[in-house]
Chains A and B, each alone.
Chain A
Amino acid sequence: MWDLAAHSLDIAKLRGASYADARVMHLRQRDLTTKNGAVGTLAQSESIGIGVRVLANGAWGFASTDRLTKDGVAACAAEAVKIAKASALAKRNDVVMAPEDAYVDSWQSPFQKDPFEMPLETQLDLLLKADKEMRRVKGVTLTETDLQFRKIDSWFASSIGSRIHQRKVISGCGIVATSYQGDEIQKRSYPNSFGGQHALRGYELVEETDLVKHAPRIAEEAVALHSAAQCPRKNGTLILGGSQLGLQIHESVGHPIELDRVLGQEANFAGTSFLTLDKLNKLKYGTELVNVVADARPEHGPGLGTFAYDDEGVPAQCTDIIKDGEFRGYLSNRETAHLVGLARSSGTMRTESWNRLPIIRMTNISLKAGTWREPDLIAYTDDGIWMDTNRSWSIDDRRYQFQFSTEIAWEIKGGKKARMLKNPSYSGITTEFWNSCDAICSKDYWTLWGTPNCGKGQPMQTMGTGHGASPARFRNVNIGTAFGGK
């Protein structure tokens, strides 16, 4: 692989590139699903190819191919230079990159059990057992389970001399019970919606998640939701479970801090950001309890945003995003770092595959744990609503106004968890919301959640991001607007 990558860099230089980097990537994936007790999807795939990014005449070009021959990668590199020269016909300024050292390294994400080496029968058996447990519950009309495994090798080479190999093993698993009755479809998911939990781990994630044990509970809850009371429409106290709070962080902190959005580079598709450059170190993003970091380092945990180097050859870092409630940092790359006065990229360039250009992406954007015990959070809440497990999510293209709904909620009355509520939702303005946070649970309740489906860029790229969170409380929140007509 190194020979092919090096050859592409040589050709790029020969054709006039002032800088070039190449990524050979080999992606392997296994997907297993069941539905109503039968196998649904059973598929495995692999894809290998090279993407070459070059700077020529002060502008970027990128080309990719799966023809991994000497001629194939040479043609690809030459095409990248041709494209860069075409870009220069309509460039605004010459690209300037922040300096970075060259690295020669190899890293593999830690895991205990390689999911690709586990017997498929074991994996399917687990799903079919969980599926069966859900179908035992009367009133359940649809049961679904899934496992997803990925193994990604990347060989990064750049014209400044870096040679970095990384291997990541990713696992994901989840179950869903759906119940249709009367004029309602209700569903419950475990351990999270939209495919469950995903992490940079091996099969041990699936074993620890214990889908079979939780299957009856979520099936019963899906049915019970039909007879639950409607979540009221009011302004009040909201407690978010960890997985929902993870998505709240993703949408209302993670996206607005992407510097390419702030600088207008995503204006036509993903949108821009309310976090204009004048707000850095000045905006009171949240209460003093709110501390958010962007941490790609392995010591943060096995998140979907964990790596040793980003796809631009910059080492993983931890960046303060919100410190004691103050807005402190953006996600940057080598091209944009100098625009916010940084001497160096914060290391957030990531690509979905060999055929996609690396762009600024979230790594692990996590809310640091607070000090509260979960039982105390309930005991010290007189009147509130606890919402859990995302059902829908939406936010405007500058990341001010959001609305989320969750699968389930419970009333908190007089310091006790009371009746179940259906169709819960809440909405608000990003900074008002984070400035209403008055309690965050401790590290004992903190989980690094994986969001496997973050879409951004044109052509669209799907990326996995990590979000550490523990349950937290927010005051004076708009509740129940989405279902206001019910």
Chain B
Amino acid sequence: MPYAKTVLSGGDVHRVVDRIAHQILEKTQGAQDVVLLGIATRGVPLARRLADRIQAFENISLPVGTLDITLYRDDLRRHAVRAVGQTREPVGGIDGRRVVLVDDVLFSGRTIRAALDALSDLGRPAAVQLAVLVDRGHRQLPIRADYVGKNLPTALTETVRVKLAEIDGIDEVQLEAAS
């Protein structure tokens, strides 16, 4: 039976982002030297939201950048050529900063592996942390997130679909299965 059930509603997504913003502040002594780096596509609006919330809570303005990892993927040869997105370093760069990578779903860990490679070409951060909206398990690499919105046990056949208002017009996380 194909199904699609909502795992996080719009309100849930907002509360989760608020909580992660607080956790970042707590774990980094008030976001000292922190820059947020959103991984394309849906990590980008999430990083902006975290910056907005941190600004609202503590009146701290964090630099936000975007990272497209297409050119660092390890599976380029397995698919047709992929479009390349924008990479924009946060203002002031990443050297010596604490970089918080932001993505929507943590799955195999390969995207984060590619992001770490890309980061080391961009500069030398003092530390790198990872924030994700959903951790769906099934890691293929020794990678874990520092901030997790929701741990979601899934089957490999299922799909986690994250929708964000900036891109999809609605905030929602759904778990889908084709059969």
Same complex: no
